[in-house]
Amino acid sequence: VMSYSRRTRTASTTTATEDDSSDPFPSSSDAPSSSPHPPQQYLVSTAVVMSELIKLLVCTVVYIRQEYSFGKTSAGGGGGRPHQRSFSLAALLRDLFGPDSSCAKMSVPAVLYFVQNNLQYLAVQHLDPATFQVTYQMKILTTALFSVLMLGRSLSRSKWMALVLLTFGIAIVQMDGKQKPSSSSSSSSSAAHTQTAAQPLIGLVAVTIACILSGLAGVWFEKVLKGSQASLFLRNMQLCLFSLIPGLFFGVFLMDGAAVRQHGFFQGYDAWTWAAILCQAIGGLIVALVVKYADNILKGFATSLSIILSSVASFFIFDFKLTLMFTIGSSVVLYATHLYGLPDKVGIAKRAASYSM
Ligand code: C5P
């Protein structure tokens, strides 16, 4: 996730806001990548690539362990589990890119996520953090819409009502969190906002397109994932590999090429940078698991509830005040979750989804 811009990160100045989902690699300021900077700055483009590489590594290891045996015998022989084949690089490459791999289908969400992530960054440059977070919740509705259009889901009126309530509820929670001036006021969003001649219309257009792409990419991934027997880890390997192409070419090479040549790929990396990269990678893997074992709509409920839970945890751990707006917003989210979980009155909504592409 993220776009290309040089980020300043020093341990003392950088603070992340609660649930700043727009920016997994938070920093204290941005600067043009062409200018010479001291090497304690890291490049977001390289962090994006590293997070994709970590996901790729994890998925490759898990997939090879699932699918292949390293014993002498193959296909049901004594070397591994019955379904396992004996490992070879050619077999792995065939799984990834062979005629039965459907790999072209995975290039679509990779490009969509790439554009979406960059639009998010453009949006936070032109909108204040509250407006961005509130408008970005529209992705809950776009996701539901694409689930209906592409997966053939049918959602009853009360489920749609629950989704609209969820969108409003989490928007109220986010508005509350972002409007409070806090000691950690140097959020990347506000830093970006104040350093740019803000054009709210550009921000709103960017966030609207990002919401559409978020829904489309998520549902496309779900359709490909559930439309075949291929392993989740194979699909994720394909997604990572296709994401690495624009990440490396547009990000590291085109945008930050000069800086990388000057100070190196890992310039400015510290423990916090690695922590942010790891969080991003683990988060992406969790999203994939949620989409496989549940779906993209339920993911919207899960992330909303996690925002509320982390705010409640902040109440106990940090100096977080539970305000009236937070209470109203979280009550609406909890009610929406309850409403969505209720069985439909007239029959059971069709869940026979069409995943074939
Ligand atoms: O905002 P949204 O919910 O669309 O973000 C989903 C995030 O999950 C994106 O950053 C995307 O890169 C990540 N993802 C992933 N692996 C998947 C699916 C999504 O890393 N298989």
Residues 2-11: tens digit of each pLDDT = 434 444 333 3
Q: Measured from the CA of 299, which atom of ligand 1 is nearest?
A: 3
Residue 183 sits at φ, ψ, to 5 deg, of -65, -25
Give the distance (Å) from ligand 1 centre to CA of residue 284: 5
Closest listed residue to residue 301, CA positions, set 146, 129, 139, 61: 139
The Cα–Cα gap between 168 and 119 comes to 22
Give the tens place of pLDDT for each residue, 243-282.
Answer: 999 999 999 999 999 999 999 999 999 999 999 999 999 9
CA distances from 220 to 77, 102, 111, 283, 337 (A): 37, 13, 12, 19, 24
- Tens of each residue's pLDDT in the chain, 357 residues: 343 444 433 333 333 333 444 455 655 444 444 445 455 688 989 999 999 999 999 999 999 999 999 876 545 445 556 778 999 999 999 999 999 999 999 999 999 998 998 899 899 889 998 899 899 999 999 999 999 999 999 999 999 999 999 999 999 998 876 555 444 433 344 444 445 578 999 999 999 999 999 999 999 999 999 999 999 999 999 999 999 999 999 999 999 999 999 999 999 999 999 999 999 999 999 999 999 999 999 999 999 999 999 888 888 888 778 889 999 999 999 999 999 999 987 545 555 455 666
The answer to whether 123 touches 129, Cβ cutoff 8 Å, is no
Give the distance (Å) from ligand 1 centre to CA of residue 287: 6
Q: Check if 268 has its Cβ closer than 6 Å to any atom of ligand 1.
A: no
Closest listed residue to residue 151, CA positions, set 357, 296, 354: 354
The Cα–Cα gap between 101 and 234 comes to 9
Give the distance (Å) from ligand 1 centre to CA of residue 221: 10
Q: What integer pLDDT is reported at residue 204 of this predicted model?
A: 96
Give the distance (Å) from ligand 1 centre to CA of residue 340: 23
Q: Measured from the CA of 236, which atom of ligand 1 is nearest?
A: 21
Q: Angle CA(295)–CA(298)–CA(302) in degrees, nearest 5? A: 125
Q: Measured from the CA of 243, which atom of ligand 1 is nearest?
A: 12
Element (H, E) at 63: helix 44-67
Q: Check if 214 has its Cβ closer than 6 Å to any atom of ligand 1.
A: yes
The Cα–Cα gap between 166 and 129 comes to 19
Mutate to test the pocket of ligand 1, among 59, 121, 287, 304 (most ligand atoms within 8 A of CB): 287
Instruction: Count other Cβ atoms within 10 Å, centred on residue 90.
Output: 9
Q: CB within 8 A of 89, min separation 6: which ones?
A: none
Q: CB within 8 A of 128, min separation 6: which ones?
A: 178, 189, 190, 193, 198
- Which residue is associated with the tokens 């945008």? 255
Which residues, in sequence order, are bridge partners of residue 6? 31, 43
Residue closest via CA to ligand 1's atom 20 equals 284
Give the distance (Å) from ligand 1 centre to CA of residue 217: 8
What the block records as the tokens of 54 is: 């970590």
Q: What integer pLDDT is reported at residue 301 of this predicted model?
A: 97
Q: CB within 8 A of 53, min separation 6: which ones?
A: 240, 244
Residue closest via CA to ligand 1's atom 5 equals 214
Q: What integer pLDDT is reported at residue 198 of this predicted model?
A: 82
Give the distance (Å) from ligand 1 centre to CA of residue 135: 18
The Cα–Cα gap between 342 and 98 comes to 43
3-state secondary structure at position 43: strand
